[in-house]
A and B are shown apart, each in its own frame.
Chain A
Amino acid sequence: MTDRVIYAMYDDDDVLKDGAKHLVAKGVKVEEVFSPFPIHGIDPIIGVEQTRLGIFAFIYGLIGLTLATVGMRFFMIVDWPMNIGGKPNFSYMENMLAFVPITFEFTVLCAAHGMAITYFIANRTLPGMKAQNPDPRTTDDRFVIELRASQNSKFSAAELESLVKETGMVEIEQKEI
Chain B
Amino acid sequence: MHKEAAIREPLILGHKTFSDVTEDVCRPIEDKAPKTWYVLFGIALIIGIYGIGCILYLLGTGVGVWGLNKTIGWAWDITNFVWWVGIGHAGTLISAVLLLFRQKWRMAINRSAEAMTIFAVFMAGLFPLIHMGRIWVGYWVMPLPNQFGSLWVNFNSPLLWDVFAISTYLSVSLVFWYIGLIPDFATIRDRAKKPVSKKMYGILSFGWSGRAKHWNRFELISLVLAGLATPLVFSVHSIVSFDFATSVIPGWHTTIFPPYFVAGAVFSGFAMVQTLMLVMRKAMNLEAYIHTRHVEYMNIVIMVTGSIVGTAYITELFVSWYSGVEYEAYAFINRATGPYWWAYASMMTCNVISPQLMWFRKLRRSLIFTFIISIVVNIGMWFERYVIIVTSIHRDYLPSSWSMHYPSHIDIGVYVGTIGLFFVFFLLFARYFPVLPIAEIKSILKSSGESYKNSPNTHKETVKPTPFIQNVKEVKAKLTRDELSAKTMALISKLGAVSEETKDNLKLISGVGPVLEGKLNKIGIYTYLQVSKMTTEEYHLLDELTGSSKGRSERDDWAGQVKKLMNKSNNQ
Contacts and interface: CB of A to CB of B under 8 A. Distances in A.
Interface of A: 11-15, 32-40, 42-43, 46, 48, 50-51, 53-54, 57, 71-72, 75-76, 79-80, 82, 84, 89, 95, 98-99, 101-102, 104-106, 108-109, 111-113, 115-116, 119-120, 122-133, 136-141, 168
Interface residues of B, number: 73
B224 A53 contact: yes
Interface string B18-44: 110010000000000000000000000
Contacts of B191: 136, 139-140
Contact of A82 (B156, B183, B212, B438): B156
Interface in B194-246: 202-221, 224-225, 228-229, 231-232, 235, 239, 242
Contacts of B214: 123, 125
B175 A120 contact: no
Interface stretch (B165-173, B406-414, B561-569): B165-173
Nearest to B235: A104
B175 A76 contact: no
B190 A133 contact: yes
Given A14-B460, A123-B217, A137-B190, 12 more contacts: A39-B215, A98-B155, A101-B164, A105-B165, A105-B232, A106-B168, A111-B224, A113-B172, A119-B221, A126-B207, A132-B209, A140-B187
Contacts of B19: 140-141
B187 A102 contact: no
Contact of A109 (B168, B210, B216, B239): B168
Contacts of B208: 125, 131, 139
B459 A72 contact: no
Interface stretch (B146-154, B415-423, B486-494): B146-154
B98 interface: no
Contacts of B372: none
A111 B152 CA distance: 25
24 contacts: A14-B1, A14-B459, A32-B211, A37-B440, A37-B442, A48-B216, A50-B220, A54-B220, A82-B154, A84-B156, A101-B158, A106-B164, A108-B228, A108-B232, A109-B171, A112-B225, A116-B225, A119-B179, A125-B206, A128-B203, A129-B206, A132-B207, A139-B187, A139-B210
B164 A75 contact: no
Sorted nearest first, the 9 A-B pairs with minimum C-beta distance are A129-B207, A141-B18, A136-B190, A38-B215, A125-B206, A141-B19, A133-B209, A75-B152, A37-B439
B216 A112 contact: no
A151 to B, nearest CB: 15
B442 A36 contact: yes
A109 B209 CA distance: 28
Interface of B: 1, 17-19, 22, 143, 145, 150-156, 158, 160-161, 164-165, 167-168, 171-172, 175-176, 179, 182-183, 186-187, 189-191, 202-221, 224-225, 228-229, 231-232, 235, 239, 242, 438-440, 442-443, 446, 458-460, 463-464
Contacts of B156: 76, 82, 84, 89, 95, 98
B228 A139 contact: no
Contacts, number: 212
Contacts of B446: 13-14
B171 A54 contact: no
Contacts of A131: 186, 189-190, 202, 205, 207-209
A118 to B, nearest CB: 9
A34 B221 contact: no
A32 to B, nearest CB: 6
Given A102-B160, A137-B190, A111 B212 contact: no
Contacts of B175: 112-113, 116
Contact of A113 (B145, B158, B171, B220): B171
A95 B155 CA distance: 10
B34 to A, nearest CB: 24
A30 to B, nearest CB: 9
B559 to A, nearest CB: 28
B195 to A, nearest CB: 14
A50 B219 CA distance: 11
A12 B202 contact: no
B182 A11 contact: no
B390 to A, nearest CB: 26
A53 B175 CA distance: 15
B206 A101 contact: no
B165 A101 contact: yes
A79 B188 CA distance: 53
Contacts of B189: 131, 139
B1 A40 contact: yes
Given A54-B224, A102-B164, A111-B228, A34 B209 contact: yes
Contact of A34 (B151, B210, B216): B210
A120 B206 contact: yes
